[in-house]
Chain A
Amino acid sequence: MIYRETGQFKSSYASDQAIFPIVQDRVLVLLGIAAAFVVPPLVANEYWLQAVLIPLLIYALAAIGLNLLTGYAGQVSLGTGGFMAVGAYSAFKFATSFPWLNIIVVFLLSGLIAAAVGLVFGVPSLRIKGFYLAVATLAAQFFLVWLFNKVPWFVNYASSGTITAPTRTLLGVMVTGPQASAEARYLVALGLVAVFALVAKNLVRGRVGRSWMAIRDRDIAAEIIGVRPMRTKLLAFGISSFYCGVAGAEFVFLYLGSAETLAFDINLSFLVLFMVIIGGLGSVLGSFLGAGFIVLVPIFLTNAPHLIGLPLPVALQKQIELMVFGALIIFFLIVEPNGLARLWQIAKEKLRLWPFPH
């Protein structure tokens, strides 16, 4: 009843090509964004912001990045953690070498560095594809993490080998460093992810996104109709790594505060890949849903035994958590291989027809 597009006529090309062509969608998204900016800083406590919302936004940004590459351009990558590490370490170097640089500029610059690195490691995609490529991107993962571990220049010769986010302000408010409030960090992360999600949404419906999808669906056919595979694939690697790089920089500056290379190991790559698959390949919304799922499920699993008054030994609980997490992933893949975004789509179809069955 509410979700009905009757009477909404498209009378110009612009309205036909809008990102959200249906009024209700537009209103819902705008309301959602406004609520995200206003409600959590007022309502949520420190724990919720720090442990749930901030990582969720940062993971969502990384997931959008990987989704551009894997979901839209069809190139499976297991090097996300490595590219995020590039972003984090270059942000650290920029911030400490040029203290006067605006923190947003630092994030963008480190994204660019990550994009350059991504281009280099994207070169094998011109020759190999599928799982061979996936394994080849592991080379990026292991090599980059090793590099940051081995070369002391990246950590400014700190003996501990960790990078720590220096204190920086934005519009007079402290947003990074140990004294920055969770609210400020949340808002910065939210602003960045909102802008980049919009950019991604626009990228994938334009020429670039269409050439990515053509390559994904049938690379040879795409080549024949004039999509240049080399440029398209490398562009996908570059832009995806840019997103991952910015997410990596935020990961240290807005979420962890300080980190070693261990934070960027292969598990991070898998985590982001999970988000993309569970959320839905080829869907920007899915990246958010997937990030929410992967962030919330472990927290729920950790707290569930306490809620039902069942105290468990820590080790046993950790093991059960692993098992349930693994089983849930298999369960979700079986129930809906196209991800949470597809469930949302089905729900929308149903809403459209409601209360009629057809």
Chain B
Amino acid sequence: MSRIQLENVTKKFGKVTALDGISLDIRDKEFFVLFGPAGAGKTTILNCIAGIQIPEEGVVKFDGEVMNLTDAAHRDTAMVFENYALYPQMTVYDNMASPLRSPLYKKDEAYIKEKIQEVAEMMKMDYLLQRLPSQLSNGQKQRVAMGRALVRSPRVYLMDEPLAHLDAKLRNSMRTELKEIQANFGTTSVYVTHDFMEAMSLGDRIAIVNEGKIVQIGTGDEIYYMPCNEFVSQLMGDPEINLIAGTLKKEGDSYSFIMDAGEKVYHLPTDYELFEKLDDLGCEKVDIGMRPQNLNYSFEAHEGYLKCTVYSYESIGNKSVIVAELNGLQLRMIAPNGLTVKIDQDIYVDMELNYAMFFDAESKEYLTRYNEAAVLALTEQEG
């Protein structure tokens, strides 16, 4: 139960800078998610918090107390490693008992037994306790690694993709379980994932990490609705957001948007706040971000619809994704299952532009979006 702060943390491995001036303030009892692509430095952040790696610059604080000189054993953290790091010579039971038998966190055997039984039942693996790690599947190993962390009540849980190797059903139930455990124990948790669903559903707040830097910190909704740049907007959401390049043109009171692909002219729906902001920014070349659910399609020609061809149609379970193509620009949108769609057939696409986000075409930074005030109000309510 601790507030974890990282101030300007820089970690280098030889000439490679893994972390570049990371600053984080993780609140007490918060479920904090680190989200980003592979190799972004998420695991290195965890290692710096755990004390496994010592940063070259910057300080790590627990409850305001500088921990840089405290070794990993004395930091009182519990960590789930991405490659499990189970002790191969010990049974599952002994693996889970290991932190409770160490000289620092010693508990009596009766307590250990009870605690392990409790955690094992929760993780649905009580029948595995006498096995050796070599006799487990990857998903089972991952649960043991989680169990080994959960038997303790540390100052902070550090979890490195703890659900990545579980099957879909177990992953969903464990996700719910994790959230509940965290709410019950009230232990600060730092959770690394590259799964957007996990990040959204688990995190009180999410930090987007890329190339050793924090790109954006915010609640799931904040980041989903107001991503700070195109990179973040592409990370959040599945299927990926559509980014459409074009030119803004002011015509009297209103604005129109000319798409680069196809040179179709759209008149932007009137929103004076937005227009004022666009006036201030004065950008011409912009990318418009459209979530796939805000694109509509039809197989017959309609007034104002954009004529494209079908690039692909694939089911993702309870719905399908149609990718339409126009002069190299691909548009992803959601469709029901079971449509008869032929590749390369004509498709007509309409954009609900009143959900659009605007990004600077050069810097790729977020400019503004429709209903910004409403989105801000929503996120503030959460925060």
Partners in one complex: no
